[in-house]
Structure 1
């Protein structure tokens, strides 16, 4: 059997058709992961905080170790609104915001 016939037979195989699609699927998944990582790069974009005073989205302005649980990895995230209202939220890498 000539090599060209073998290659045609292989290309018609369902397994080969699936394998041929993998590079495009991998590229699409890599783009989706990159977009998700960019969206969640900062705490404010991942978990926008609504201002209790005016309802607008508050801006993430900083973080520091939590005064009580900082040794356990907890952080205190500070948010500020355009209206001047400020607040903090406790955050941990394992559980996110509390």
Structure 2
């Protein structure tokens, strides 16, 4: 399964424009649903990204270089493209 975790329609449309296949779009991730081999795309907090990896999932971070003035604003897919949004794979593990 490929999950897109976002509440933002611009992110959904950005993924579609970039032909990123998504099986489910969720406003919030319940990490208990993640199975080995699943992929999660979004802007997860570090502990949640680590939990995805601990369950055998893959995490791709939607990186959006927002300015201070843009924080908290709803951005369109076009704005995300203009800002250079990108996906970057991360493997996050908690330090012991």
Question: Is the structural similarity TM-score above 0.5?
Answer: no
TM-score by length of 2: 0.22
| Greater Cα radius of gyration, structure 1 or 2 | 1
